[in-house]
Amino acid sequence: MNIALGHFNFGPLIYGVIMFVGIAVLWFKLSTGRWLSLMIDIGVFALVFSLHGGTMAGGFAAMIAALLAGMFLPLMARK
């Protein structure tokens, strides 16, 4: 008898962690007044989410793209 369950789906867990990190970063930027970076995050998320048709995979891609853009584009704008 096979007691071990071999089917684990970590997708929702990873999706939830990325979503939490994205919301925490947005809250941090809002509370510290980093408006340019906040607007970049929101704009990139809206653009990528609309390009992917509003699907769950599109939301995941949009969250990751917004996090990366919010980290790197303000640094590039300062130089």
Question: pLDDT tens digits for the chain (79 residues)?
Answer: 555 566 777 878 888 888 899 899 999 999 999 898 899 899 999 999 999 888 888 888 898 999 899 888 888 877 7
Two structure tokens written together for 72: 């790197």
Residue 45 CA from chain centroid, whole number: 8
Q: Full-prediction pTM beyond 0.85?
A: no
pLDDT at position 3: 59
Beta carbons within 8 Å of 64's beta carbon, 6+ residues apart: 18
pLDDT at position 42: 92
For residues 40 and 74, the answer to whether their CB atoms sit within 8 Å is: yes
pLDDT at position 53: 87
